[in-house]
Amino acid sequence: MSKELLTVENLKTYFFTASGVSKAVDGVSFTLEKGQTMGIVGESGSGKSVSASSIIRLLPKIGKIVDGKIEFEGKDILKLGKKELLNFRGKDIAVIFQDPMTSLDPVFKIGNQMVEMICAHQDISKKEARAIAVEALKKVGIPQPEKRMDSYPYELSGGMCQRVIIAMAVCCKPKMIIADEPTTALDVTVQAQVLELLQELQKEMNTSILLITHNLGVVWKMCDTVMVMYAGKTVEYAAAETLYRNPMHPYTWGLLDSMPKLSDKVKEELKTIPGTPPDLRLTGTGCNFCNRCPYAEEKCRAEVPPLVEIEKGHFIACHRQNKTEKLARGEGKKNG
Amino acid sequence: MDEKKVILKVRNLTKEFKIKSHKLGEKPQILHALTDVSLDVYQGETLGIIGESGCGKSTFGKCLVQLHKPTRGSVEYQGENILGLKKGEMKNIKKEIQMVFQDPFSSLDPRMTAGKLVEEPMIAHKTEKDRKSRSKKALQLLQTVGLDIQHVHRYPHEFSGGQRQRINIARALALNPKLIVCDEPVSALDVSIQAQVLNLFNQLQRQYGLTYVFISHDLSVIKHISDRIAIMYLGRIVEICRAQELYENPLHPYTRALLSAIPPESPFEKRERIVLEGEIPSPIGEQKGCPLAGRCSFCKERCRNEMPGLCDRGDGHQVACFLYESK
Amino acid sequence: MAKQNKMPNKELMGADAHSQLVKRERRANNVWNKLRRNKTAMIGLVIIAFMILIAVFAPLIATHDPNAIKPSETYLGIGEKGHIFGTDEFGRDLFSRVVYGARISLIAAIGGTIVGGILGILLGLIAGYAGGAADAVIMRLMDGMLAFPFVLLAIILMTILGSGLQNVILAIGIGNVPTFARVVRGQVHIVKNEEYCNAGRVIGISNLRMLFCHILPNTISPIIVYATLNVAGAIISEATLSFLGLGISQPTASWGNILRAGRDCLNTAPHIATISGIFILVTVLGFNLLGDGVRDVLDPKMKR
């Protein structure tokens, strides 16, 4: 059952701007198994969205994949031709973007957009495609799907739009769905509905989901494995339960601590990570977290920490956390 | 907490927007953004306002700072109704009520440096006439919010989101205000930065004795800053109480549903979710009955026809629901 | 609490490195540096700079007095008797006339654009910011002016004002007011609803300050783009007016005047009209190229 679907190895995507090379993704490795959900967590600018765009090779002109390997079912994605790539996107991988209102073309009816997409990937008539589309809309819980086919995107609410996009994503039965902050633009009650819908569909079709989010709560709800990214790098990668019970990287600690939680006391001071993330044009000479890390040493500034497997399935990139040396959470505050 | 001075008294605040009809000769429809909002804000406290998008929480904030002109109702600031004031009098009040906006990217003029931006309120109100003392105060303010001298001559696009929000806060502080309306000031920020800014808000409140009206959609964020919380739904306040009380003993069905929809805190937590059927009804047109009536599992005949008023359940815990009326 | 008060500001690799980065970014985003990387803009700029140099140093460049009449040397061809471009029907040196004409044409075109720009910006700002009745009155007036073809409007103005350089500038300026006002008003409508304008209102800054410190600086980019492109049109306008005999009065040389003179002898001395025509063409091209380049740099969204 557990078989690798997507393997990403040491992916590096750089942006070549006029003011320097921005290392948007600078060493990301993970594997996604069939039917599993993996979460990528990180702050804005940590490279989580660029990683996803690299996987479907949909990068802006100035962005280039300079190193690494992306394998999908054994195929090397980086070697695909234009035609194969088009087939790969949409048919093998579907993408759900953050802003539901802008991912649908406002001048076409929803039905037409869906039919067009289905026909592009499957050799069937428009009528059949329409039937598939209606079925998909029904599946995502849209009332009166036949009627909704003739609606324009602006006639629907944000939550409904996101459902339509999910319907579009699933109607070609993709093996994998990349969901890039699918619920960030939605209200909490709608977010819960959309996430539950994704879970149901996944169970039914045995798809893998790559969920990109900055909300750890969403990760706990959805994901089997989690990758924490910081300034373009994988800093920690483990099963969700392991990451919650036994986080190892100082950044993960900071992230977990600075999340406002419902169980906190009223007006309680939040723990913070001091400082701001580094500029991506300046990273790469040491551990990217060293300027904010209370445990940082000379070595952290001078050397890039490698990603090592510390226990089975638990990867971490930190000089001070490995088999020989162990840090205690909360201890570094004194010298910090 | 009990005997505190009321700094802002809002009564029956109503804001309606007219929506022009495209058809000729048809009457314009009315969008009810705020309906009969009444609440008190006490000096030195933080009143959190929670609601989903489109519930009127931002409109409420904008009415407080006079960016919108309310259709009906009154806003009393320290005993004086500020809605009917003349321009000159208004200017003095504007000094005391400031606002921090949601989007740190669009709320700063891209063509002004951080220093200039912070100096601007002082120029507008002529509080610091001398250029030197003005720039000195601007630097001081920037340092209070955690920026420094090397940031003074930078433009907004050269800052990160969190830093920009700090500039916004420094700007709001420049006139020594008493009340700051914060319209989702941290929702565009990353988790680690969000925590920093929230702590900064709390620290400034202690330092300067500020009063906040803190608008947010995030129940876990607002817990870290609020003394009292008001829940809004479709332009009305459905529940208002002390923050602790809200999380321990939520009364209104909507509040309960909202709390249950928050993502879990750990992978092991499985929360029982209270599902609200359907979507938020449209605020356009005539409003009849409880706004939640169509989605509430406790809905009775009466809820569809009559709007429940806020009633006190003791200790300042007010809720607008017939479930709690007679008891 | 005091510890929280001062956030550590050590960015990665120190604050210095970051300051350097900001500097590098500023350099990269500097309008002039961006313009320098833009080929079309540079070609346009070279052409314009060349024309302006000619205009400024006209007395040094000109080989003859542009108005000196020599009945013995009329209609000379290119290069004959030391006249680089030959002579016109009065025996005046064409090269010197074209060089001096550059002065008049450029002044008329740029001056006209400035006059039209200032008036149009003011009207557009008022209409866009005040809205309501002021907006309605100003914009209907502008629509009324736009209803006239530009040449007709200029002819009417020139007939009222009489010919002469100032009046040409004024006529071109007034003719350009409505379009400027339209561009500005549209921009003001976008900018005045930006969040930072709301923020300014909450702070309580005055309307004047709002207009000139926030709204105008943020609308200026498209205005500059439009103005640059507009100069090209103004050069043609000047030529048209002079060609029709309504512009710069004879014997003062302007490109339009020379073109007009060349019309009467297209068969016998085609070089007169051709040369002045080429100068007009090249200059207009220069301003258009620069305008396109400036737009790419200042206003990337406006790209067609």
pLDDT score for B227: 93
The terminus-to-terminus CA distance of chain A in angstroms comes to: 46
Kind and range of the H or E run holding A76: strand A75-76
Q: Are C63 and C244 in contact (CB under 8 A)?
A: no
What residue in A sits closest to B196 (Cα-Cα)?
A272
Kindly report which listed range (A137-141, C13-17, C294-298) carries the lowest average pLDDT score.
C13-17
Q: At what angle do helices C94-130 and C132-147 cross, to 10 degrees?
A: 150
**Model confidence at C3: pLDDT above 80:** no
Contact residues of A toward C, CB < 8 A: 17-20, 274-276, 278-279, 281-283, 285, 288, 290-291
Put simply, the answer to whether A283 touches C21 (Cβ < 8 Å) is no
pLDDT score for B289: 85
Is A255 within 8 Å of chain B by CB? yes
pLDDT score for C6: 36
**Model confidence at A106: pLDDT above 50:** yes
**Model confidence at C299: pLDDT above 80:** no
Kindly report which listed range (C62-66, C228-232, C282-286) carries the lowest average pLDDT score.
C62-66
pLDDT score for B301: 86
A196 closest CA partner among B281, B220, B270: B270
Put simply, the answer to whether C195 touches B120 (Cβ < 8 Å) is no
Q: Name chain C's partners: 3 or more CB pairs within 8 A.
A: A, B
Q: What CA–CA distance (Å, rounded) separates B52 from B48?
A: 13
What residue in C sits closest to A271 (Cα-Cα)?
C4
Paired tokens of B45: 């406290």
Is B269 within 8 Å of chain A by CB? yes
Residues of A in contact with C28 (CB under 8 A): 17-19
User: Looking at residues A108-116, what average pLDDT do you find?
Assistant: 90
Q: With bands split at pLDDT 50, 70 and 90, how would you rate the model's confidence at C26?
A: confident
User: Looking at residues A40-51, what average pLDDT do you find?
Assistant: 89
Put simply, the answer to whether C200 touches B120 (Cβ < 8 Å) is yes
How many alpha carbons lie under 13 Å from residue A192 in its C-beta half-sphere? 18
**Model confidence at A41: pLDDT above 90:** yes
Put simply, the answer to whether C8 touches A17 (Cβ < 8 Å) is no
Q: What CA–CA distance (Å, rounded) separates C64 from C8?
A: 72
Instruction: Calculate how close chain A gets to C201, using CA atoms only, in Å.
Output: 28
pLDDT score for C4: 37
Kindly report which listed range (A128-142, A244-258, A316-330) carries the lowest average pLDDT score.
A316-330
Q: What CA–CA distance (Å, rounded) separates A38 from B113?
A: 42
Q: At what angle do helices C195-203 and B161-173 cross, to 10 degrees?
A: 20
Paired tokens of C7: 């956030």
Q: Name chain B's partners: 3 or more CB pairs within 8 A.
A: A, C
pLDDT score for C128: 94
- Residue B42, SS3 per DSSP: strand
More confident residue, B279 or C52: C52
State how far the alpha carbon of B321 is from the alpha carbons of B39, B251, B309, B318, C36, in Å. 17, 9, 7, 10, 67
In this prediction, does ipTM exceed 0.90? no
Q: DSSP characters for A89-138? A: IIIIEEEE-S-HHHHS-TTS-HHHHHHHHHHHHS---HHHHHHHHHHHHH
**Model confidence at C250: pLDDT above 80:** no
The terminus-to-terminus CA distance of chain B in angstroms comes to: 26
Kindly report which listed range (A270-274, A277-281, C16-20) carries the lowest average pLDDT score.
C16-20
List, for residues C278-295, the tens digit of each pLDDT value.
999 999 999 999 999 888
pLDDT score for C9: 38
pTM: 0.86
What residue in C sits closest to A302 (Cα-Cα)?
C13
C214 closest CA partner among B111, B281, B265: B111
pLDDT score for C249: 79
Q: With bands split at pLDDT 50, 70 and 90, how would you rate the model's confidence at C14?
A: low
Q: Are C54 and C61 in contact (CB under 8 A)?
A: yes
Residues of C in contact with B154 (CB under 8 A): 22
- In the stretch 25-44 of chain C, residues with CB closer than 8 A to chain A read 25, 27-29
What residue in B sits closest to C19 (Cα-Cα)?
B150
Q: With bands split at pLDDT 50, 70 and 90, how would you rate the model's confidence at B205?
A: very high
Put simply, the answer to whether A290 touches C12 (Cβ < 8 Å) is yes
User: Looking at residues B246-272, what average pLDDT do you find?
Assistant: 87
Q: Name chain A's partners: 3 or more CB pairs within 8 A.
A: B, C
Helices (H) and strands (E) in chain B, counts: 10, 12
Which of B46, B265, B280 is the closest to A220 by Cβ? B265
pLDDT score for B83: 86
Kindly report which listed range (B67-71, B270-274, B308-312) carries the lowest average pLDDT score.
B270-274
Q: What CA–CA distance (Å, rounded) separates B117 from B155?
A: 9
**Model confidence at B189: pLDDT above 60:** yes
**Largest Cα–Cα distance in chain B?**
68
Q: DSSP characters for C34-63? A: HHHH-HHHHHHHHHHHHHHHHHHTHHHH-S
List, for residues A177-225, the tens digit of each pLDDT value.
999 988 887 888 888 888 988 998 899 888 999 999 988 889 999 999 9
Residues of C in contact with A290 (CB under 8 A): 12
Q: Are A67 and A78 in contact (CB under 8 A)?
A: no
Beta-carbon contacts of A87 under 8 Å, excluding residues fewer than 6 positions away, are A121
pLDDT score for A330: 62
Put simply, the answer to whether A259 touches B190 (Cβ < 8 Å) is no
Residues B291, B293, B298, B300: is their CA dihedral positive or negative?
positive
Residues of B in contact with C1 (CB under 8 A): 203, 206-207
pLDDT above 70 coverage of chain B, percent: 97
Residues of B in contact with A240 (CB under 8 A): 267
Residues of C in contact with B206 (CB under 8 A): 1
- Residue A194, SS3 per DSSP: helix
Q: Are A211 and A38 in contact (CB under 8 A)?
A: yes
Site from C1, C5, C9, C12 to mutate, A interface, most A CB atoms within 10 angstroms: C12
Residues of B in contact with C207 (CB under 8 A): none
List, for residues C168-198, the tens digit of each pLDDT value.
999 999 999 999 999 999 999 999 988 999 9
Which of B244, B266, B275 is the closest to A266 by Cβ? B244
- Residue B159, SS3 per DSSP: coil
**Model confidence at C8: pLDDT above 50:** no
**Model confidence at A236: pLDDT above 80:** yes
Q: With bands split at pLDDT 50, 70 and 90, how would you rate the model's confidence at C12?
A: very low
CB pairs < 8 Å spanning B and C: 81
Q: With bands split at pLDDT 50, 70 and 90, how would you rate the model's confidence at A277?
A: confident
Is C10 within 8 Å of chain A by CB? yes
Q: What CA–CA distance (Å, rounded) separates A187 from B216?
A: 11
- Residue B264, SS3 per DSSP: coil
Q: DSSP characters for B204-261? A: HHHHHT-EEEEEES-HHHHHTT-SEEEEEETTEEEEEEEHHHHHHS--SHHHHHHHHH
Q: With bands split at pLDDT 50, 70 and 90, how would you rate the model's confidence at A333?
A: very low
pLDDT above 90 coverage of chain B, percent: 49
Q: Are A220 and A17 in contact (CB under 8 A)?
A: no
CB pairs < 8 Å spanning A and C: 41
List, for residues C29-38, the tens digit of each pLDDT value.
788 888 888 8
List, for residues B89-133, the tens digit of each pLDDT value.
888 888 899 999 988 888 999 989 999 999 999 999 988 888 999
Q: What CA–CA distance (Å, rounded) separates B36 from B74?
A: 10
Q: With bands split at pLDDT 50, 70 and 90, how would you rate the model's confidence at B3?
A: low
Q: What CA–CA distance (Å, rounded) separates A279 from A284?
A: 10
More confident residue, B160 or B142: B142
Going across the sheet that includes B228-233, the strands are B97-100, B179-183, B211-216, B46-50, B228-233, B236-242, B318-319, B311-312
- In the stretch 80-139 of chain B, residues with CB closer than 8 A to chain A read none
Q: With bands split at pLDDT 50, 70 and 90, how would you rate the model's confidence at B1?
A: very low
Paired tokens of B165: 């929000």
**Model confidence at C127: pLDDT above 90:** yes
